[in-house]
Amino acid sequence: MVTEITGRLGVENWLQIMKMITTTASLEDVCDQFSAADFITVDTEFIRETTYWPRLCLLQMASPDAEVIIDPLAQDLDLSPFWALMKNQEVVKVFHAARQDIEIIYNMAGFVPAPIFDTQVAAMVCGFGDSVGYSMLAKKLLGRTLDKTPRSTDWSKRPLSDKQLRYALGDVTHLRKIYLRLKSELDRRNRACWLDEEMALLTAEETYDLRPEQAWRRMKYKVHNKKALAILIELAAWREQTAQQKDIPRNRILKDETLSDIANHAPQTQKELAGLRSVPQGFARSKQGLEILAAVRRGLAADLAKVPEVAKKGKPLPAEAVPVVELLRIYLKSAAADHGVAPKLIANISDLEKIAVDDNADVRALSGWRRELFGQGALDLKYGRTALLVSQGRLQLVPAGDIVGTKANDDDSEAHTVPPAKSTSH
């Protein structure tokens, strides 16, 4: 039914005839048809500014020859056919910047869709830049300028306008061509396996694990010792559970810095809790204030032998490693440009700092395709086995012995070398 309508009348006329799928029977029909496709494109519209759990307001899907909009807010609509399609291993699910979409599916249905193709990650592998947006990708690959003004509208209000529906459909119809072009480019460059590695991380259930006892790992915290960390673990679990139960954003209960402050001071009484400047006035005397003190007591009673070591954040690099990091940063940009891949996908500044002080650092840049593309060259550069040569406006990595006495070619501007810094790591 859906294929016949969209194929015969086109998207614009279809919008006027059938605004959205609102019945389970129609959804079953659509999902049955889409299950025969090699791939489908998927997107969601949701709101979460005032809630802990994102509220799914719209689902959009497209197969190679059809597109649909599903209204998850429709009364009595059962999404089971959609969940089954998301589990279908024979159909590739294509998203752009998939993490939040997957998070919604995981929270509502308890699984991560598979297999997944994320066009934002694929674009990074193909050299379109770090975290490139959907509009920019449509412009670069399709020459299309998209109207993104409906993005910030309230998707929970009904009825939705034709402008909103056209915008929503555009997020999956253009995605079809974007997917096919990126997939072709990955195949041409033999980089499909690079994307597989990234998709494995994106689809790991641990990525979407919102168990309260793991909440501290997602925080930006500053604690001084293991005792404070033990308290913080209890505080973060309490806040996460409270936020989930009340369905409000966690920071509306207490901010990360406030939890860190409480963990470091370990208040035992309401008076001590109220004495902390970061704690809102009157909070200590509330029910939640008493729950905070109980969490502090649980943290103090924890077995410190079972508490993780406190991460040493912000520890300054050894002075001799600083120029090494700067040199590696330059080389990273050059290697990424030469191979047409986003620098962020190869390494970040933290990785470079670890490589500067440890040849065997546990970073992805020193294994697999990243080592071949950048990591081994970084180590060679670090120890002076190679050097960076500027020639014809671009950097080249050359054996150090080859540049002794080198003069610029007639067609080159003057060649310059960047001498590698000495490292204390051997």
**CA–CA dist 173, 11 (Å, integer):** 10
Domain with CATH 1.10.150.80 in the chain: 212-306
CATH T-level assignment (fold) for domain 319-418:
DNA polymerase; domain 1 (1.10.150)
Q: Taking Cα atoms as reference points, which of 63, 340, 333 lies closest to residue 186?
A: 340
Class in CATH terms, 212-306: mainly alpha
Other C-beta atoms lying within 10 Å of the C-beta of residue 43? 22
CATH T-level assignment (fold) for domain 2-208:
Nucleotidyltransferase; domain 5 (3.30.420)
Helical H runs in 47-133? 80-87, 99-109, 119-125
* Residue 315, CA atoms < 13 Å, CB-side half-sphere: 10
Query: Running along the chain, 426 residues long, what does each successive block of 10 average in pLDDT?
Result: 43 50 96 97 94 96 96 95 98 96 95 96 91 91 87 90 92 96 94 88 89 92 93 97 96 96 97 96 94 97 93 75 94 92 93 94 93 94 89 81 54 40 40
CA 170 vs CA 35, 51, 115, 162, 195: distances in Å: 21, 27, 22, 12, 25
Contact 69, 165 (CB under 8 A): yes
Tokens of 212: 């309260």
Q: State whether the Cα torsion 110-116-122-125 is positive or negative.
A: positive
Domain with CATH 3.30.420.10 in the chain: 2-208
